[in-house]
Structure 1
Amino acid sequence: MTKGSSTILPLPGLRWRGFTLQLFLLTILPLTVLVFGAVLLSQSLHHQAMVQLVGDRNLRAVRAASDALSMQLDRKVYSLRTAARILEVGATLAGDSPALDLIGAEFDGGLGLYDAQDNLITSLNGANYLQSLPASQSNFWVQIKAPQPQSAILTTDTYFPGGTLVWAGLKLSDGRVLVGGFLSEQVIQQTVASILTTNQARMLVVNQAGEILYYSGDRATLGQPLDMPGVAEALNGESGVNTVASHHGDLVTAFSTIPQAGWALVLEENWEEIATPFLSTTQSAPLLLAPLLVLALIALWFGARQIIQPLQELEVKASRLAHGDFDSIRESVGGIAEIHQLQNVLSSTANDLESAQDALRGYIGAITAGVEKERRGLARELHDDTLQALIALNQRFQMARASAATDEERVSITQLQEMTEQTIANLRRIVRGLRPIYLEDLGLAAALEMLAKESTQVGSTPVKFEVSGESRRLAPEVEVALYRMAQEALSNAQQHAQADQIWLQILFTPETVTLTINDDGAGFEVPEMPDVYARQGHFGLLSLTERAELIGGDLKIWSGDKGTKIEVTVPQTSIE
């Protein structure tokens, strides 16, 4: 784009308002969030409903099994009471009663009759084990003999050689005791066989002592029964459903109690294992909306690559433009046509600004050159006229003091002579400031060394000078600019820094010349833009910036709570 050309950025119209970015921000993104939230909520509700469905089904099954086991136990107790009534009318267990033989067949663990002294009178099956029963089941025996006659007591015996026995006992009206035992696993298995319709379900029956009466799964993987979910609640007489998260999925546990024996009946199942294909499909159905999310992500990628990222790069280049980097704004950032148009406008503005800055820099350079010329002229006039007149006046004072008649006259003339000599010294310092003779004759390094000495003599803070590298002569305008910058920086440090030490350094390398002024005094906040110096009243710092730009140098200023460092680097291309 040529300088002075004008490009008008079209106002946002229908094309902008219907653009993908607004479509994404106002339509796709909210809709995607809404649908994705609905998908997650739907899956969560579906999952909860399925788990609850399995839990309710298992709870009904557990309660049905509990009722069936209760009926089986009631039947055993009823048979035992029937045998007790037959025995009370004079029958015996010696085989003289067919009815007692049938009842004895129900108690595969044995049926025994004891006298009031706990001695076994007679038995059907299991005589050896029945003989020691009062001693091995002492608590059970105490409970039998304590209640009213024919009040049945149930207990379990896990030490029976053939399996776990359930003992049912009651006391006859004449003090005798009738006890019958049956294997619990057979009774329980017959009862729950119709309930365990799947291999994934596992049924557990536990007594009050935590002993396993029945388990349909692998006992090696069971662990402690009392630690299983629902067991403790069932032993306390409760029934319900627990859902526990496991590494295999949600474990649904339904539990109930068998009040006659105080047993806990627990049914556990992973609901995912019993889910039908249709059930799994309905669980995954909301995921079919995921392509919408993919489309939204594609739109997001397009917006990021074609709009957001180019705008961010353009923002960085625009900030560099504010710092004087005019070339970066001309590098294409890509993106949509509107961004290209915006960059073209900024590039045109940068061209105009660069032209204006070049013109301003030339104007400031001309003013600076004029000021230096006026300084040299003024210094020449002061040196050739005023300074010579003061020197002549000082000589006349010397002659007058020699011819003075009285001591008072000599003292007065001496004072006038001292004042004149001080004025001559001050005037010479002013002349050197206006026209640094050492700079013209000996070069920048020698002039800076003399400047450091004069600043130490005049100011309150000592200045230490150091030169590094091989000193060489520079272009006259570069030497004058660096000298004036050092002069301004030392003046600011002496007046405002309140430092204990100031350092003035000049470094010569084949590629650059670097001037550094730093102090250990009070710091200040350095603004990002040079124009802030003028608004804050730091015209000396603004002068440093302008002089550095005039000679193509790079000015850097560091400052903080303590100390300030000013560094000017001039490349060899600007020195020659």
Structure 2
Amino acid sequence: MPFPGLRWRGFTLQLFLLTILPLTILVFGVVFLSQSLHHQAMVQLVGDRNLRAVRAATDALSMQLDRKVYSLRTAARILEAGATLAGDSPALDLISAEFNGGLGLYDVQDALISSLKGRDDLQSLPASQSNFWVQIKATQPQSAILMTDLQSPGGTLVWVGLKLSDGRILVGGFSPEQVIQQTVASILTTNQARMLVVNQAGEVLYYSGDRATLGQPLDLPGVAEALNGESGVNTVASHHGDLVTAFSTIPQAGWALVLEENWEEIATPFLSTTQSAPLLLAPLLVLALIALWFGARQIIQPLQELEVKASRLARGDFAAIRKPVGGIAEIRQLQNALSSTADDLESAQAALRRYIGAINDGIEKERRGLARELHDDTLQALIALNQRFQLLHASAANPDERDSIALLQQMTEQTIANLRRMVRGLRPLYIEDLGLTAALDMLAKESSQVSGAPVEFSAAGEPRRLAGEVELALYRMAQEALSNAQRHSRATQMRLELNFEPESVRLTVRDDGVGFEVPEAPDEFAGQGHFGLLGLAERAELIGANLQVSSQPGNGTAVQVTVPNHSRETAIP
């Protein structure tokens, strides 16, 4: 045994495996995090290197453009001193060597006076590049203007022009691709790197790769930023890997210089091998997955099932907790403890139900006794008193006396009516004589008179008598439901429905009131102040009925009680 003293069984073993799993995840996290950091470091390293290369290239190209401008200014001074392009001037010959597109001198009328090389392009230049010509004339003498000409028959040319002090114009042209290629040849040390130079119009002046695969230059990463005078590095994910793009601007011409490179293409074989290092942890991953499966199957899943059963137990479903959930020994012991608790709760609930039933029976007996005393004593006395008032009213001679006696007689009759309604509420005589249907019909009529909101009663199915305690419980539940609706719902209309079905009897009380949020369990009725609903739930349990309360704020409330068939039901002939 690798760890003496450790009990390798039950929850101890599974706890060990669940400890290994987080550690395994941690190891893998560290490995992949290090790979990610290494990847980011390599991308940053390549980006920094390419940015330095791009800035070196822009500095070199700027020096080349400055040299072209300086050479053209030198030629202008020589021409202002009296020399001509057609003359024998070694200095002008050296300068013309830098302008392979030609060197031309124009008079103030834009006519070509003389030229060195490229006479055809120089001859049509003022007309074909009128904007360029206007810019030159608008500048001060010796101020150079650069312009790119992609329409030249000999290929793309960059024209550099300036105005002499006497108004003449000197223009020199050179191939940008040749100048750029000579400048960046020492910078492009690998075949994987591709360099692009674009002017302000989005025209490609130079590209070291295959132009057929280039696409739209202005849409490429870094081009727009460089044309705006920015310098930096972008990293773009592509299907070939991360593409590192360094960019900068050539301020003299407003060109954008972009260098793009896939860092994975320049990775060494050793770096590629180190990226496969996490595969060495595959066996550890397999062990971790096995531990995860075992923990999920033997711990997590049984605990989740036990949680559901415990929730059902809290709602009064005692049978659910007794079905085994499996799992480790500790979980089974916990379920056995909960099952034992459920048995105790079920016994206590049954005793409480019997106690509540006895209390309700006592209350009903007290109600019947009180109703009998009110009916046999108080009500009879009031009836006798009313008869005496009738006799007095008939024998009274004075009109004022008759009016007073009539008022007393009216008050006595109203008291008799109220007392009779009270007696019917205490002891619904219609149930004993005519059955539940007639009693509920009378209850609906009396509720309509008391509340002012109409209560519509309807019965469906073949009427039959139920056990006495069942009929009385349904009557009390309808009475309580209507009372709740009258006091709390602000309803304008209520319905009382009684349906006799083959297998059950269903009582429903509906209203169109304000409604409320119904609690999930009957035990929560009292916590939210719905004591009437709690009483309905208790009465439903006493007779073995199913209570359903449906309501939503603004949509009214429906209380439905379903009683299964009882052995003492009797069909009404």
Q: Secondary structure at the match of 1:47?
A: helix
Determine if the alignment matches structure 1 residue 32 to structure 2 residue 25: yes
1:346 and 2:338 equivalent?
yes
The structural deviation recorded for 1:553 is 0.8
Is residue 568 from structure 1 mapped to residue 561 from structure 2 by the alignment? yes
The DSSP-based 3-state class of the residue aligned with 2:476 is helix
Q: Which of 470, 477, 498 lines up with 1:478 in the alignment?
A: 470
Say whether the 8 Å CA contact 2:46–2:244 is kept in structure 1: no
The answer as to 2:544 corresponding to 1:552 is yes
Paired with 1:202 and 1:302, the residues of 2 have a C-alpha distance of 54
Q: Residue 465 of structure 1 aligns to a residue in which SS?
A: strand
Determine if contact 1:32/1:292 at 8 Å carries over to the other structure: no
Show the counterpart of 2:192. 200
Change (3 A) 1:115 1:572: closer
The residue identity in structure 2 corresponding to 1:359 is A
Comparing 130-139 and 31-40, the one that deviates more: 130-139
The answer to whether the Cα contact below 8 Å between 2:510 and 2:557 also exists between their aligned partners in 1 is: yes
C-alpha spacing 1:285/1:373, structure 2 compared with 1 (3 Å): same
Conserved 8 A contact 2:106-2:112: yes
CA contact 1:463–1:501 (8 Å) conserved in 2? yes
Q: Distance in 1 between matches of 2:553 and 2:183?
A: 88
Corresponding position of 1:252: 245
Deviation at 1:478, TM superposition (A): 1.7
Call closer, same or farther: CA 1:280–1:255 in 2, change over 3 Å.
farther
Change over 3 Å in CA distance of 1:139–1:196 after alignment to 2: farther
CA contact (8 A) 1:39 1:287 kept: no
Structure 1 residue 344: Cα displacement: 1.5
User: SS at the partner of 1:200?
Assistant: coil
The alpha-carbon distance between structure 1 residues 434 and 278, as it changes in their structure 2 partners (threshold 3 A), is same
Match of residue 233, structure 2, among 242, 252, 267: 242
The residue aligned with 2:39 is 46
Deviations for 1:455-499, whole angstroms, at most 9, x for unmatched residues?
556676654332122211222332232233334445555667676
Aligned residue in 1 for 2:319:
327
Rg: which structure is higher? Answer: 1
Separation of aligned partners in 2, 1:114 and 1:224:
37
Relative to structure 1, is the Cα distance of residues 59 and 287 closer, same or farther in structure 2, using a 3 angstrom cutoff?
farther
Q: What's the CA shift for 1:144?
A: 13
The residue aligned with 1:506 is: 498
Q: 2:94 & 2:282 partners in 1: Cα distance? A: 69
Compare 321-330 and 60-69 and name the one that shifted more.
60-69
The one-character-per-residue Cα deviations of 1:230-258 (angstroms, maximum 9, x if unpaired) are 6688789x895532526454242355749
Corresponding position of 1:161: 153
In the alignment, is the contact (CA less than 8 A) between 1:55 and 1:252 conserved in 2?
Answer: no
> Which runs of structure 2 are paired with 1:87-486 in the superposition (5 Å)?
160-164=152-156, 185-186=177-178, 188-189=180-181, 192-193=184-185, 195-205=187-197, 212-222=204-214, 241-245=232-236, 247=238, 249-255=242-248, 257=250, 266-283=258-275, 285=277, 303-366=295-358, 368-369=360-361, 372=364, 386=377, 394=384, 401=391, 432-433=424-425, 435-455=427-447, 463-486=455-478
**Where does residue 5 of structure 1 map in the other structure?**
none
Partner in structure 2 of residue 6 of structure 1: none
CA distance in 1, matches of 2:60, 2:293: 63
Shift of 1:343: 1.8
Q: Structure 2 regions of 5+ residues with no counterpart?
A: 1-6
Which residue identity is paired with 1:60? A
1:510-549 CA-partner distances (Å, limit 9, x unpaired): 1211122344567677665556667888766554333321
The Cα of 1:570 is off from its aligned counterpart by 0.4
CA 1:81–1:336 in structure 2 vs 1: closer, same or farther (change >3 Å)?
same
Alignment deviations for residues 99-154 of structure 1 (CA, whole Å, 9 cap, x no partner)? 9999999986678999999999998866666777898896899899955xxx9999
In the alignment, the residues of structure 1 paired with residue 178 and residue 389 of structure 2 have an alpha-carbon distance, to the nearest angstrom, of 147
Change (3 A) 1:224 1:450: closer
Give the TM-score, by structure 1 length: 0.67
1: distance between equivalents of 2:518 and 2:198?
81
Gaps of 5+ in 1: 1-12
Moved more, 37-46 or 101-110: 101-110
| Aligned partner of residue 46 in structure 1, secondary structure | helix
> What do the CA deviations read for 1:155-188 (whole angstroms, capped 9, x no partner)?
876555333457799999xx99999876554565
The alpha-carbon distance between structure 1 residues 497 and 125, as it changes in their structure 2 partners (threshold 3 A), is closer
Q: Would the alpha carbon gap of residues 65 and 286 (structure 1) be closer, same or farther in structure 2, given more than 3 Å must change?
A: farther
Distance 1:262 1:541 in 2: 83
Q: CA deviation at 1:552?
A: 0.7
274-283 or 414-423: which moved more?
414-423
The question of whether the paired residues in 1 share the 8 Å contact of 2:72 and 2:172 is answered with: no
2: CA distance between counterparts of 1:91 and 1:484? Answer: 125
CA distance in 2, matches of 1:169, 1:544: 102
Deviates more, 1:550-559 or 1:68-77: 68-77
Relative to structure 2, which stretch is displaced further, 29-38 or 67-76?
67-76
User: Residue 245 of structure 1: SS of its match in structure 2?
Assistant: strand
- Name the TM-score, length of structure 2 as normaliser: 0.68
61-70 vs 501-510, which moves further: 61-70
Say which SS state the counterpart of residue 544 (structure 2) adopts.
coil
Q: Give RMSD over aligned pairs.
A: 6.1
Is the 1:62–1:267 Cα contact (8 Å) retained in structure 2? Answer: no
* Amino acid of the structure 2 residue aligned with 1:504: L
Q: Which stretch of structure 1 is more off in the superposition, 502-511 or 490-499? A: 490-499
Match of 1:9 in 2: none
AA paired with 1:216? S
Contact 2:85 2:116 in 1 (8 A): no
Q: Secondary structure at the match of 1:507?
A: strand
Partner of 2:3: none
Q: Percent identity among equivalent residues?
A: 61
Deviation at 1:569? Answer: 1.2
Q: Is the 8 A contact 1:375 1:435 kept in 2?
A: yes
Evaluate the alpha carbon distance shift between residue 463 and residue 126 of structure 1 in structure 2; reply closer, same or farther with a 3 A threshold. closer
What code does the residue aligned with 2:310 have? A
Counterpart code for 2:562: T
Distance 1:399 1:74 in 2: 135
Is contact 1:156–1:165 with CA below 8 Å preserved after alignment?
yes
Mapped partners of 2:560, 2:96: distance in 1? 113
Q: Which secondary structure state, in structure 2, belongs to the residue aligned with residue 358 of structure 1?
A: helix
Q: Is the 8 A contact 2:390 2:409 kept in 1?
A: no
Aligned counterpart, 1:7? none
Partner Cα distance (2:21, 2:450) in 1: 73
Q: 1:413: how far off?
A: 10
What whole-Å deviation, never above 9, does each CA across 1:424-446 have from its counterpart, x for those lacking one? 76776666555544323322212
Asked if the contact 1:77/1:152 (under 8 Å) is kept, the reply is no
The letter of the residue matching 1:511 is E
> How far apart in 1 are the matches of 2:433 and 2:316?
36
Which of 63, 76, 79 is the matching residue for 2:56? 63
By how many angstroms is 1:326 displaced? Answer: 1.5
